Amino acid sequence: MRIAMISMHTSPLEQAGSGDAGGMNVYVLNTARHLARRGVEVDIFTRATRPSQGEIVAVEEGLRVINIVAGPYEGLDKEDLPTQLAAFTGGIVNFARCFGLDYDVIHSHYWLSGQVGWLLRDLWEAPLVHTAHTLAAVKNAHRTQGDTPESEARRICEQQIVDNADLLVVNTVQETRDLVEHYDAAAERIVVVSPGADVELFTPGTDRNTERSRRELGIPLHTKVVAFVGRLQKFKGPEVLIRATAELMRRDPHRDLRVIMCGGPSGAHATPETYQLLARELGVERVVRFLSPRPPEELVSVYRAADVVAVPSYNESFGLVAMEAQATGTPVVAAAVGGLPTVVDAGETGLLVHSHEPEAWADALAQLLDDDERRIAMGEAAVEHASQFSWAAAATQLEAIFADALSIEIPDCHARRAIGY
């Protein structure tokens, strides 16, 4: 089986945690890796952003990333990418023609790629499987005050993809409900595939591992540590954690606490200083420390160094950070939104917060930071919980879904004429 994966707006090889690179990048790369290891040939098509990338990047046997030139390498925001849909699609068609490739199934990720996949579906007469990752209607329903709403144009494009994709893959049952409620999707065409974590890399550390991780990060061994991992944008809620930190320090000025914010700015108006200035204004700049995004091999040290990982997002289709944290044995305090109630076993591997008010978050964080016995027990339970989710299992499910998609009959031009198109 040969699969064409489409990830137009961000390459799976980009560092997750800044710009437009996030959990979707991790999802695409890891599912593709494990599909390839099962003998499925996978080409991931993405837009080239610098000439040094080269056209074809061999990731491992059976898996390549194809960089398609569509528009200038630099200077195009994600909001401008719809202007390059035709160029990007043309580049894919030309690549497949030049190398004599036929793809059995198209798997598109995010709405921009879904529009490309929809066209390729008809050109290649191959079934389209689509994973949205985020949806405009859902983001608008949960957007923060002052945050820019997703456009009606995007919502219309998503509706077209939902109407025309052969199968829709979602991360959680909640996403199924979102598609049915907001996009009138047919439930029988939706399949839930839980993402995973790299449980071979993200493993619980020994006391010595934790000590080394803290030493590398310059954190005192006996300080309580809360970590945030992800893009620094309003939708991910870093401001919620910083304000909760200020509330914790207001309640107890002598609390020995460090908050690690690991990620880069994301969004049209975001700068590295945005949240640093907030921490300074709230008087917690000594407590809050900012780290640049880092690859998984280094990120594991951040998880191990933390007593608690906070995920204060306003919505998450799944919540990969929460899953990776639990795999390392670190309990999670997360917003009770999107897929996070699935990822976090509330009361057993972490806590869910049903608000984004700083006081509520300070209460939840204090519960775990001040109760060593409960926090340690949750960390042990978290490892077992995370072991139920793996990328290998996700890839096995996807391969079966692709096989099912192959049995879907796509009318060709002659058939359409015959039935009166």
Average pLDDT over residues 40-50: 96
Tens of pLDDT, residue by residue over 228-281, are: 999 898 889 999 999 999 999 999 999 999 999 999 887 666 676 889 999 999
Confirm or deny that 208 is annotated as ligand binding.
no
Confirm or deny that 231 is annotated as ligand binding.
yes
Residue in the structure block whose two tokens are 């099912």: 404
Please name the amino acid found at residue 321. Answer: V
Please name the amino acid found at residue 363. Answer: D
Q: Which long-range contacts (CB under 8 A, 24 or more apart) does 76-85 make?
A: 77/268, 78/9, 78/20, 78/112, 79/268, 81/8, 81/9, 81/47, 81/112, 82/112, 82/115, 82/153, 82/157, 84/47, 85/8, 85/112, 85/115, 85/116
| E strand residue ranges, 266-341 | 288-291, 308-311, 332-335
Token reading at 361 = 């978050």
CATH, range 207-386: 3.40.50.2000
- Which one has a higher pLDDT value, 418 or 235? 235
Confirm or deny that 103 is annotated as ligand binding.
no
Confirm or deny that 215 is annotated as ligand binding.
no
Spacing of C-alpha 47 from chain mean position = 18
Cα–Cα distance for residue pair 68/88, rounded to 1 Å = 6
Cα–Cα distance for residue pair 166/163, rounded to 1 Å = 9
Residues 6+ apart with CB under 8 A from 192: 169, 170, 171, 172, 173, 175, 176
Residues 6+ apart with CB under 8 A from 121: 106, 127, 128, 164, 165, 166, 410
- The listed range with the strongest mean pLDDT (22-36, 255-269, 355-369) is 355-369
Confirm or deny that 134 is annotated as ligand binding.
yes
Confirm or deny that 23 is annotated as ligand binding.
yes
Cα–Cα distance for residue pair 57/66, rounded to 1 Å = 6
What architecture is the 2-196+391-418 domain classified under in CATH? 3-Layer(aba) Sandwich (3.40)
Q: Is the pLDDT of residue 417 over 60?
A: no
Please name the amino acid found at residue 125. Answer: E
Q: What is the chain's mean pLDDT, rounded? A: 92
Among 75-79, 387-391, 403-407, which is the least confidently predicted range? 75-79
How large a percentage of the chain has pLDDT more than 90?
78
Confirm or deny that 275 is annotated as ligand binding.
no
Confirm or deny that 22 is annotated as ligand binding.
yes
Confirm or deny that 214 is annotated as ligand binding.
no
Q: Is the pLDDT of residue 212 over 70?
A: yes
Confirm or deny that 67 is annotated as ligand binding.
no
Q: Are 198 and 296 in contact (CB under 8 A)?
A: yes
- This prediction's pTM: 0.84
Please name the amino acid found at residue 315. Answer: N
Q: What is the C-alpha end-to-end distance of the chain, expressed in Å?
A: 31
Confirm or deny that 218 is annotated as ligand binding.
no
Confirm or deny that 224 is annotated as ligand binding.
no
Which of 337, 379, 367 lies closest to 244 in space, CA to CA? 367
Average pLDDT over residues 280-285: 97
Confirm or deny that 303 is annotated as ligand binding.
yes
- At residue 418 the predicted structure's pLDDT band, cuts being 50, 70 and 90, is very low
Could you give the residue range(s) of every CATH 3.40.50.2000 domain in the chain? 2-196+391-418, 207-386
- pLDDT attached to residue 129: 98
Confirm or deny that 314 is annotated as ligand binding.
no
